[in-house]
Amino acid sequence: MAEQLKRVYGLQFGLLCLSSFLFFSSFNMIIPELPDYLTSLGGEEYKGLIIALFTLTAGLSRPFSGKLADSIGRVPVMVVGSVVCVLAGFMYPLVGSVAAFLLLRFIHGFSTGFTPTGKSAYVADVVPMERRGEAMGLLGLSGSLGMAAGPALGGFIASEFTVDAMFYISSGAAFLSVAVIWHMRETVQNPQKFRLSLLRISRKEILEPRVLAPSLVMLLTAFTFGTILTIIPDFSNFLGIENKGLFFTSFTLSSLAIRFLAGRASDKFGRVAVLRVSTGLLTLAMLVIGSVSSATELLLAGILFGVATGMNSPTVYAWTIDLSHEAHRGRAMATMYIALEAGIGLGALGSGWLYGNENSNFTLVFWSAAVFSLLAFLYLTLVVRREAALKHS
């Protein structure tokens, strides 16, 4: 068994997971403190744009990162995204206006527009099909560890030292993520040299039709995540939670235990079967979050949210890879990530608008987001009828 694991998950996969941990630590480290930081600049009414602008750029860059991942290689695409995080971390302390802050958030979004696309395509190249759900679970586990450690560490640094120190340390984490993958073996056969003509995108290169089903599920479920990212910092303040990163740590830690198991379950029972469970749990989680009235209840609700997202994400990723053509895996993953960014962005904008800085609207915001995960559940239950094709013998 140990030898089999070694063959499937070698050094390259291990480096990829380590880099993913550092990358997700970097940009998640600053998220809980950004609403207060923007408020200090006089931009309280623009909180919804903190996530929306970030995801807008990520979504716009996906067709380019997908095409480049299939042409110049997976590793360069991963490096570009991490370098953007390095530079952004150093720039945040220098912004002195709301406009400059929002512009930097827009630029920072290029990071997640590139790095995850390259990483997911790389995993598809080095892991056999019958282990993809498991592999995506492990990669997601690494990212979730970063998402758990980042906000908690960022909140600690901001409270014990300064917000500027938090930004600089986030930049350092991104730099380490670049160093880890710098000399990784490229998996694209005969990669091309970069040229400007590769940045010309035709309409057929924007979306991969083969993966529209998992992308729709991702779009609907990501709406809830955009809501969480935007509203939870203020909701935590309202409930008296001083470290606004604790909820994020709660839900990401709970997702750690389930990701690997969910990935293996999707390999055995099929992607859609697992997704029906995850979207049902996600709907329940949003309803519960909208009903809590204490800090303890919110953190416990975060555990349920983490279980749901921990099941959902690696299964959607694996389903996308299953349906993709080998020559267009970068484009396929880019399509799925476009849906992810669109869902998060719409969730951020919609929840920010519904919230309107009125504490009485918290329940309305979270329950409204639950409708979207319910739609995903209904789509998987009533529309998708190709489960047998997604099972592995």
Q: Considering the domain boundaries, does residue 192 fall inside one? A: no
- Residue 296 tokens read as 């303890």
What does the alpha-carbon distance between residue 137 and residue 313 come to, in Å, rounded to a whole number?
A: 8
Q: How many CA atoms lie within 13 A of 119 on its CB side?
A: 36
Domain count, the chain: 1
pTM, two decimals, is: 0.71
pLDDT of residue 9: 62
pLDDT of residue 99: 93
pLDDT-derived band at 6 (thresholds 50, 70, 90) equals very low
Q: Considering the domain boundaries, does residue 199 fall inside one? A: no
Return mean pLDDT, the chain.
85
Q: Considering the domain boundaries, does residue 200 fall inside one? A: no
Q: What is the DSSP letter of 97?
A: S
Enclosing domain of residue 15: 2-184+206-388
Q: Is 270 left (phi over 0), alpha (psi -120 to 50) or beta?
A: left
Supply angle C-alpha 193, 198, 204, rounded to 5.
140
Q: Considering the domain boundaries, does residue 303 fall inside one? A: yes
* Length of the chain as a residue count: 393
| Residue 1: pLDDT over 50 | no
Q: Considering the domain boundaries, does residue 264 fall inside one? A: yes
Least trusted range by pLDDT, from 126-140, 219-233, 259-273? 126-140
Q: Considering the domain boundaries, does residue 271 fall inside one? A: yes
| Residue 391: pLDDT over 60 | no
Q: Percent of the chain having pLDDT more than 70?
A: 95
How does pLDDT run across 163-204, given as a tens digit for each residue? 999 999 999 999 999 999 888 888 888 888 888 877 787 777
Q: Considering the domain boundaries, does residue 76 fall inside one? A: yes
Q: Considering the domain boundaries, does residue 249 fall inside one? A: yes
- Residue 28 tokens read as 């998640």
| Cβ-contact 43, 101 below 8 angstroms | yes
What does the alpha-carbon distance between residue 309 and residue 303 come to, in Å, rounded to a whole number?
A: 10
pLDDT of residue 288: 96
How does pLDDT run across 303-325, given as a tens digit for each residue? 999 999 989 988 998 888 888 87
Q: What is the DSSP letter of 186?
A: P
Question: Residue 338 belongs to a domain with what CATH number?
Answer: 1.20.1250.20
- Residue 211 tokens read as 């993966």
